Structure 1
Amino acid sequence: MGSSSSKGTSPVESIDYKAKPTMNDLSHNNSNGGVEISKNVLDFNLGEKPCPLKCVVQDQFTIVNMNKAKLKFHLEPLQPKEFQLSFSPSSGSIDKGKSKTVKVKLIVNQKLNTNHKVVLKIEGGASHFLTVKIRCETGVFGVDPLSLECVDDDGYRVPQILVLMKRSLIDGGGLQQEGIFRLAGEQTEIKRLKESMNKNEFTSSTDINTIASLIKIWYRELPTPILNSIPTEKIFYSTDVDECVQAVNMLPEPQKGLLHWLMNLLLQVSEYSDVNKMTAQNLAIVVAPNLYDVSSSNPMEGLVMSQKCVQFLHNVLNHKVSVSRRESRSIALEV
């Protein structure tokens, strides 16, 4: 779930927005091994339609060798029990200036929503990431938020399922839980609750980390992750808090409301950081990966953008913290 089971909560190092490499460097460096890939996301031409169970669906992509010599490639897909994924060919060689089409077959054995990463390795050490997009479950996860029943909460109109999970989190003592949003919930409990929620049967859990994990999963499985709706340049080059907040405020609805709602919840968590050990920076580290999906197959670009998203979210959350403190001081003065 993007969480660690360890107890440490040491923050990442501060990230310099202006540090090299720049976006231009990332786009044109040779870390791609001299290879171009026709598509980075494999959705088997389903779009937002659910993937059928126990049926073969197919997709394909093309690898182009831009090098001056023949290259060898190899695909290394993991094979989780939930689905079967095969590539034809899964390895081989491509002459200089030539291309090879790889056919992909997928059989999903049980309902799930996931963006599964596959590594394409090029001889010489370069790697590319391909995203296999699988959407089977219908309900409240992995769907257009506008299709869900929404309610008003914290001044924002958001899907009711988020409000129910937040109340469960708070009522269960989640704000005081050490490592909340960092520690993963029980996998079997996460699966059970998610299936219930997708049937509009909300039940809580005695494992509060499960509720926190499900909130992250809800955001991660959105058809378009929220930070992907912000221009990449805004995330990469925003140098201060105000620029980040302005970029968030330029988001369309419902993305803007969904992000502000989540930031308000994280603000509440950070107010108990002396107990739960989750500062604004630690929260940004564990939550940001659920709000952005790296579309590039370039691993270097993906790594840098992931770091930039953490810093971007940290800036937005810091703004929330500052505003909250000013309001608290103002109320104290009035009293």
Structure 2
Amino acid sequence: MGSSSSKSSAVIPPSIDFRAKPTVDELGSANNGGVEISKSILDFNLGERPCPLKQTVQDQFTIANMSKNKLKFHFDPSQPKEFQLSFSPSSGSIEKGKTKAIKVKLVVNQKININHKVTLRLEGGVSLFLTFRIRCEVGVFGIDPHTLELVEDDGYRVPNILVLMKRSLIEHGGLQQEGIFRLAGEQTEIKRIKEFMNKNEFNSSNDINTVASLIKIWYRELPTPILNSIPTEKIFHCQDVDECVESVNKLPDMQKNLLGWLMDLLLKVASFSPINKMTAQNLAIVVAPNLYEVSSANPIEGLVLSQKCVQFLHNVLSFKQSHPDYHGSTMAISNV
């Protein structure tokens, strides 16, 4: 099966010097087009409540023109079949020093859980991103893990659905599958098995790429992704392995269990890397984006922080590889 991921390129402004370790504030101010957005993640004030189908829900945000000139803007059209988004106004101009309120309406046609990106285009070629958090499915995905059935697995207390997926993955040869966690399952099969999981009717599947995809999706759809519980500065300045490990050790118990369980699974996969071609570094590249939700509207900041999350995860995986006694205990970092 082919991968669903695609490569993208971006030009890093000269003002961003990785070697100089810029502050996050300096990074966030780069290439923002002279505007400030009041919030770049919108959830239509639903929180963890499921979004109703075939009904209109609304949210709004403001765009402030902090530049010295009048600024034109427009939103790229976005009309996926699963839902409709509309902006009012969808284009226009903002006088210097002024603020414009943007109202957003959403109608969802079918049950989905998705973080949908919309591009705000500014005069002068600058683009900013807004994330729309849409959660309609009810079950074991996209909800507070504390509300799920928790079980012990290799020293970690995690939701039972994760243990079922792990067992299915291993029993059907997933550890030896070339490209596991990199190759995506078929979307129709992902949707079908996910529905079984949400109805508590899943036991096993021999479609290991689909199961691996669903593990990533489960983590991606958490109300608060795990790495978002770590201060952004710690993610950004993640060159020191010990500091990364210390940050993990300070996570709340649930996030620490979830991350530790996942890293143990990834290291089981990496132990077969001569066969499956998935080293710890390769796994960090494909898994880390599912553990962090970029809140910035600045695409450059989002790109850099996404790369830093990969480095952060790889550092902790490398630590675990070199400390076998770390396996199986959420407190082992402190004791090493």
Distance 1:295 1:157 in 2: 29
- Residue 100 of structure 1, CA deviation: 1.2
Shift of 1:318: 0.6
Q: Does the aligned pair in 1 maintain the 2:61–2:103 contact within 8 Å?
A: yes
Render the CA deviation track for 1:45-73: whole Å, top value 9, x for unaligned.
11111110000001111111111111111
- Native 8 Å contact 2:56 2:107 kept in 1: yes
The residue number in structure 2 matching 1:333 is none
1:225 maps to: 225
Query: Which digits, 9 at most, give the CA deviation of each residue in 1:122-161, with x for residues without a partner?
Result: 0111111111011111110000000000100010000000
CA distance in 2, matches of 1:144, 1:163: 17
Distance, in Å, in 2 between the alignment partners of 1:196 and 1:19 is: 49
- The count of corresponding residues between Structure 1 and Structure 2 is 316
Whole-angstrom distance in 1 between the partners of 2:206 and 2:319: 33
Gaps in structure 1 of 5+ consecutive residues: 7-15, 328-335
Give the equivalent residue in structure 2 for 1:181: 181
Deviations 1:24-53 (A, max 9, x none): 321333x00000111111111111111100
Match of residue 243 from structure 1: 243
Q: Distance in 1 between matches of 2:142 and 2:303?
A: 24
The residue type paired with residue 220 of structure 1 is R
Residues 3 and 313 (structure 1), Cα distance of their counterparts in 2 relative to 1, 3 Å cut: farther
Bigger drift between 284-293 and 20-29 goes to: 20-29
Q: Distance in 2 between matches of 1:325 and 1:271?
A: 16
**Higher RCO (CA-CA < 8 Å; seq separation 6+):** 1
1:86-126 CA-partner distances (Å, limit 9, x unpaired):
11111111111112111101000011111111111101111
Using the TM superposition, give the Cα deviation of residue 195 of structure 1 relative to its aligned residue in structure 2, in angstroms.
Answer: 0.5
The whole-number CA distance in structure 1 between the counterparts of 2:223 and 2:204 is: 25
The one-letter code of the counterpart of 1:163 is: V
- In structure 2, how many angstroms separate the alpha carbons of the residues matched to 1:27 and 1:87? 25
Deviations 1:265-290 (CA, angstroms, capped at 9, x unpaired): 00000000000000000000000000
2:164 aligned partner: 164
**Where does residue 22 of structure 1 map in the other structure?**
23
Structure 1 residues 138 and 244, CA, compared in 2 at 3 Å: closer, same or farther?
same
Residues 256-307 of structure 1: CA deviation (Å, up to 9, x unaligned): 0000000000000000000000000000000000000000111111111001
* Counterpart check, 1:98 vs 2:98: yes
Query: What is the DSSP-based 3-state SS (H/G/I as helix, E as strand, rest coil) of the residue aligned with 1:245?
Result: helix
CA–CA distance in structure 1, aligned partners of residues 293 and 326 of structure 2: 34
Shift of 1:18: 4.4
Q: Does the 8 Å CA contact 1:180/1:278 hold for their aligned counterparts?
A: yes
Tell me what 1:78 maps to: 78
What pairs with 1:1-335 in structure 2 (closer than 5 Å)? 3-4=3-4, 18-29=19-30, 31-324=31-324
Aligned residues of 1:3 and 1:286 also touching (Cα < 8 A): no
Q: Identity across aligned pairs (percent)?
A: 76
The corresponding residue for 2:333 is none
The answer to whether the 8 Å contact 1:186/1:207 transfers is no
TM-score, with length taken from structure 1: 0.91
Q: CA RMSD in A?
A: 1.8
CA distance in 2, matches of 1:46, 1:52: 10
Gaps of 5+ in 2: 7-16, 328-336
Q: Point out the more displaced range, 174-183 or 16-25.
A: 16-25
**In structure 1, the residue corresponding to 2:253 is in which secondary structure?**
coil
Superimposed CA distance per residue, residues 199-243 of structure 1 (whole angstroms, 9 cap, x where no aligned partner): 000043332100000000000000000000001111111322111
Distance 2:288 2:313 in 1: 7
Partner in structure 2 of residue 330 of structure 1 = none
